[in-house]
Amino acid sequence: MDQKVLILNQDYSAFALCSIQKAFVLLYLEKAEMVHRSETGFIRTISQNFPIPSIIRLHRYVHVPYKGISLSRHNIMRRDQYQCLYCGSTKNLTLDHMVPRSKGGGSSWTNLVTACMRCNTKKGDRTPEEAGLILKQKPKRPSLVAFLAANAGAYDQNWATYLKVKA
């Protein structure tokens, strides 16, 4: 049961992902309603079968003051799909400040990229342009919905409507 369930806020906006177990508890406690069920089977108890949820909607609106993804090593690597943005390698990954901290570069979504040890060492205390390295994509701050969609793995096609992605 590694499958994830999409949680929608009361206004049907994508809110988070959770486990099937957590979604079932929210449904059982009547804190949420099932919007779409999964085709993968049922949760079985001694006396009943319950459909596995794929999408649930909370009954009460949850105000999220900051709808953003926290800046962390793990989230930077997830954004960059665990590959070096200079050469595409997936081995010996580190974080690299495009504009080095010694030259005023800070730790931000637009200045941090995933880099392999070899490219990071080659770049050293220089900018990518100075080191002759070309980025495969420009780093940017991901939106909550885009981050959920990109990191959900294999997900139900019914999520596409709420995540605003092509199925």
Which pLDDT score, from 0 to 100, does residue 112 have?
96
Catalogue all structural domains in the chain, each as residue range(s) with its CATH number: 4-66+143-163 (no CATH), 73-131 (1.10.30.50)
State both tokens at 107.
């730790």
CA–CA distance, 132 with 122 (Å, rounded to integer): 9
CA–CA distance, 114 with 73 (Å, rounded to integer): 9
Which pLDDT score, from 0 to 100, does residue 70 have?
85
Contact present, 55 and 82 (Cβ < 8 Å): no
Is 0.75 topped by the overall pTM?
Answer: no
Which pLDDT score, from 0 to 100, does residue 154 have?
63
Which pLDDT score, from 0 to 100, does residue 23 have?
94
Write out the DSSP string of 27-95: HHTTSEEEEEEEEEEEEE-SS-EEEEEEEEEESS----S-------HHHHHHHTTTS-TTT---SSEEE
Sequential pLDDT tens for the chain (167 residues):
578 889 999 999 888 888 899 999 999 999 999 999 988 888 888 898 889 999 999 999 988 776 678 899 999 998 999 999 999 999 999 999 999 999 999 999 999 999 999 999 999 999 999 999 999 999 998 877 777 766 666 667 788 788 775 44
Cα-only R_g, the chain: 20
